[in-house]
Amino acid sequence: MAKVTIDGTEVEVQEGLNVIEAAKAADVHVPHFCYHPSLTVVGQCRMCLVEVEGMPKLQAGCSTTVKDGMKIHVYNDKVDKARKGQMEFLLINHPLDCPICDKAGECPLQDYSFNYGSVTSRYGEFKRTYPGMDRTPIGPHVVQNMNRCIHCTRCIRFTQEITGTSELAFFKRGASTEVGVFPDTPLDNWMSACVTDICPTGALTTREFRFENRVWNLDSAESVCNGCDVGCNIFIGHRNGQIFRYRPRVNPDVNDHWLCDFGRFSHERYDTDRVVVPKVRNEDDYFGISTWTEALDSIGKAVRATTSEKMAVIASANMTNEEAFLARKLFADRLGVKSIGVMVDAIGPIRMKARTEWLVGTQGAPNFRGVERVLGEGTSKRVDDLLTRGAEGIDVLFITDAAFSERAKDPAVVANLRKAKMLVVLSWDATHPLADSADVVLPSTIHAEKEGTYTNLQGRIQRIFQAFPPKGQTVTDLEIYRRIGAHLFPEAEEFTTADAADLFDDMRATIPAMKNAEEAAPAEAW
Binding residues vs other proteins (CB under 8 A): 41-47, 49, 56-58, 60, 63, 65, 81-82, 85-86, 88-90, 92-93, 122-125, 128, 150-151, 153, 169-170, 172-177
Q: Name the residue nearer to other proteins (CB basis): 50 or 397.
A: 50
Helix (H, G, I), strand (E, B) or coil at 364: coil
Q: Cβ 515 to other proteins, closest distance in Å?
A: 47
Nearer to other proteins, 47 or 243 (CB): 47
Nearer to other proteins, 44 or 308 (CB): 44
Rounded to an integer, what distance in angstroms lies between the CA atom of residue 318 and that of residue 404?
7
By C-beta, is 122 or 304 nearer to other proteins?
122
Q: Which amino acid is at 269?
A: R
* Cβ distance to other proteins smaller for residue 200 or 237: 200
Strands (E), 172-298: 178-181, 204-206, 219-224, 233-239, 242-248, 279-281, 287-289
* Shortest separation between residue 176's beta carbon and other proteins, angstroms: 7
Nearest Cα residue to 235 out of 224, 226, 157? 224
Question: Cβ 258 to other proteins, closest distance in Å?
Answer: 24
Please report how close the Cβ of residue 118 comes to other proteins at its closest, in angstroms: 12
**In terms of Cα–Cα distance, which of 342, 368, 349 is closest to 457?**
368
Calpha distance 381→39 (Å, rounded): 44
d(CA 380, CA 311): 16
Say if CB 49 and CB 61 are below 8 A apart.
yes
DSSP for residue 332: I
Least Cβ distance, residue 154 to other proteins (angstroms): 13
- In the complex with other proteins, which residue's Cβ is closer, 84 or 210? 84
**Residue among 230, 228, 264, 258 nearest 246 (CA):** 264
**Residue 349 Rama label (left phi>0; alpha psi -120 to 50; beta):** beta
Nearest distance from C-beta of residue 78 to other proteins, angstroms: 11
Please state the closest distance from residue 504 (CB atom) to other proteins, in A: 48
Q: How far is the CB of 76 from other proteins (least distance, A)?
A: 15
Nearer to other proteins among residue 200 and residue 433 (C-beta): 200
Nearer to other proteins, 65 or 362 (CB): 65
The answer, yes or no, to whether the previous bond of 522 is cis (omega within 30 of 0) is: no
Query: Buried (b) or exposed (e) across 383-399, using 16+ Cβ within 10 A?
Result: beebbeebbeebbbbbb
Phi and psi dihedrals of 401, rounded to 5?
A: -160, 120
CB of 87 to other proteins, least distance (A): 9
- DSSP secondary structure string for all residues of 455-519: E-TTS-EEEE---SPPPTT---HHHHHHHHHHHH-TT-GGGS---HHHHHHHHHHH-GGGTTHHH
Least CB distance to other proteins at residue 68 (A) = 17
* Interatomic CA distance for residues 26 and 2, integer angstroms: 13
DSSP 8-state symbol, 126: P
Nearer to other proteins, 4 or 424 (CB): 4
Provide, rounded to whole angstroms, the least separation between the CB of residue 58 and other proteins.
6
Of 51 and 477, nearer to other proteins (C-beta) is 51
* Short-list 247, 250, 303, CA closest to 484: 303
Q: For other proteins, give the closer residue by CB, 150 or 332.
A: 150
Is 195 in contact with 189 (CB distance < 8 Å)? no
* Residue environment code for 178-189, b if the CB has 16+ CB neighbours within 10 A, otherwise e: ebbbeeeebbeb
Kindly state the smallest distance separating residue 128's Cβ from other proteins, in Å: 7
Q: Of 79 and 343, which CB lies nearer to other proteins in the complex structure?
A: 79
Environment class of residue 158 by beta-carbon count within 10 Å: exposed (0-12), middle (13-18) or buried (19+)? buried
Q: Which is nearer to other proteins, 195 or 425 (CB)?
A: 195
In Å, how far from its chain's centre is CA 475? 22
| Residue 60 C-beta: closest distance to other proteins, Å | 7
